[in-house]
Chain A
């Protein structure tokens, strides 16, 4: 399990040759999961948040370059002390603390920001920014760090050699190294010891027409996060981006993140 982690069906990458079996098995699991979720909690998942901005991608079909997934985070709506997005991410992807924070993976984290000039304090969730020009993809010697056609930046765990150069290159400290064996992994987020990992934007959920776990959790706490297709001018995220004062992290580096912050 740990060696076959994160490529194929989940990522839509055809690099490893095991795509067919993965698609079938996972497709079956997804169908079963979606069926159960629909029966047990109607309206809570798929229907509550709608699928207008996230259409399901048929299994076996590659990710489309017509779509550019992105996120807008309105810091005015991000409640101080709220950790819902982080908790949801950890739960969704099976990230647990080892008791040693320095080696624990954090795919999303809440950063407290104090304006050095004014003293004003804000909090901002930070995760992989799914850059258009991702430095992690540029530096990866084997191409394990890659960007999907729809802009999602992932790690092909089959060919990650664990050199950590992507961690050195990422401007946002968005990647973590798997420092030890994890036995209790989630099917949707395999974690191979000795490889690098980071926010996948819940790519499996997106492919199933759902939203990332953090966005769903945030919606219940004030809705600071909006997820959607940046290429669709009619999507909620595109409309909001035209209305709010926004900024990108480290805009000076011109890596063009897909994550945008409002009111920072």
Chain B
């Protein structure tokens, strides 16, 4: 059996340093933005008593959802015994942790009282899905860390059962985590745009897309950095297939979600708003999520081959998918709040507190900077991880090498 070898990042190209510098600047800007919001209060943001969750939450949810999906490759290799995915399992694990930390950082720094994060970690209301999520998030980091240990430690990695158990635990946990994140919205009984069990599977399907897209882009970047092709042709083909499947699953659940609500008269108002009348939200949905974020990548993945051009098309498709992901969560999170609560069914309501009104929202610079800094934190952690520990497969990562 040829042993798959792994490597650390050792020498760095100018492009790598440039990326690192950009991420450091983005993180500094994000921290400054958070301090500004903390000092002056959320009045300096675009958020209000109407749109209570804004751009930071779009980025945070996007990153948290992506984190669970980033574990795809590791899960496919250890839970479903696809050995050609195994060389990428380590990278997939560290990327999952990095994305989750990035998302949580944004979420915490957006709190009205971020210094009370320890209150959130010590005082629980177990009826709250939010409180459950705190366990799911910290548990995810711990389980994936153990999973990485099972894969990377010389002695532990010899124990295949340990690896299998950790891989399976991580797999179940990540499903629970994304289910929990979707349920943050799905459990909101009074919000027409959110309430429903479909939010959990929709978030799970979305996580598979964005997590794998992040993995592909990191692999492309690391291939450039190591001057080696870390993604062999075989894997380009597999990633193309998997991504297409996940996109179709997300589209299917999106379709069902909207159709179910359109069918029920009380929800037609919010559906018309999100899909047709709501200005920026239908635009973000049709142009962002559907066209740029789903159909264009599907076409790219279908037309691509497994060679060098196909690899570029796969990378481009992944980039478009991530943009589509941001659009998707923008429509869900912001659009869902922009449509007014229906407190008085059968009446047209109006008040000085914006009852019955479409709520306006323009994301402010601090919010966007904080959100982007979450992505940068994730990428910096992944890069640092690859610098310190052997997460990257020794190229070429031939699947035959991993087979017994």
Interface residues on A, range: 35 or more
B191 touches A193 (CB 8 A): no
- Chain B hits for A168, CB < 8 A: 52-53, 188, 191, 337
Number of interface residues of B (CB under 8 A): 50
- Chain B hits for A142, CB < 8 A: 119-120, 123-125, 131
- Chain A hits for B36, CB < 8 A: none
A180 touches B40 (CB 8 A): yes
In whole angstroms, what is the CA distance A106 to B357 when docked?
A: 16
B347 touches A115 (CB 8 A): yes
Residue of A nearest to B120 (CB): A161
- Chain B hits for A104, CB < 8 A: 49
- A91 shortest CB reach to chain B, Å: 16
Q: Assess whether A87 is interfacial by the CB under 8 Å rule.
A: no
Given A195-B112, A250-B190, do A164 and B52 touch, yes or no (CB 8 Å)?
A: yes
Q: Assess whether A126 is interfacial by the CB under 8 Å rule.
A: yes
- B345 shortest CB reach to chain A, Å: 8
Q: Assess whether A218 is interfacial by the CB under 8 Å rule.
A: no
Q: Assess whether B116 is interfacial by the CB under 8 Å rule.
A: yes
A112 touches B49 (CB 8 A): no
- B191 shortest CB reach to chain A, Å: 7
- Chain A hits for B395, CB < 8 A: none
Interface secondary structure of B, over-half rule: loop
- A260 shortest CB reach to chain B, Å: 14
Central interface residue in B49, B111, B188, B191, by most chain A CB within 10 Å = B49
In whole angstroms, what is the CA distance A156 to B324 when docked?
A: 39
Central interface residue in B124, B337, B348, by most chain A CB within 10 Å = B348
B41 touches A115 (CB 8 A): no
In whole angstroms, what is the CA distance A113 to B354 when docked?
A: 13
Instruction: Report A129-176 residues with CB < 8 Å from chain B CB.
Output: 135, 137-143, 159-165, 167-173, 176
Q: Assess whether B353 is interfacial by the CB under 8 Å rule.
A: yes
What is the 8 Å Cβ interface bit string for chain A, positions 79-114, against chain B (1 contact, 0 not)? 000000000000000000010111111100111111
Q: Assess whether B113 is interfacial by the CB under 8 Å rule.
A: yes
Given A103-B48, A106-B353, A110-B351, do A195 and B113 touch, yes or no (CB 8 Å)?
A: yes
- Chain B hits for A139, CB < 8 A: 127-130, 187-188
Task: Write 7 A-B pairs (CB below 8 A) sorted by A numbering.
Answer: A113-B349, A114-B348, A142-B120, A142-B123, A162-B112, A168-B337, A192-B113
Interface contacts beyond A168-B191, A178-B112: sample of 4 additional A-B pairs, CB < 8 Å, sorted by A? A113-B347, A114-B347, A142-B123, A180-B42
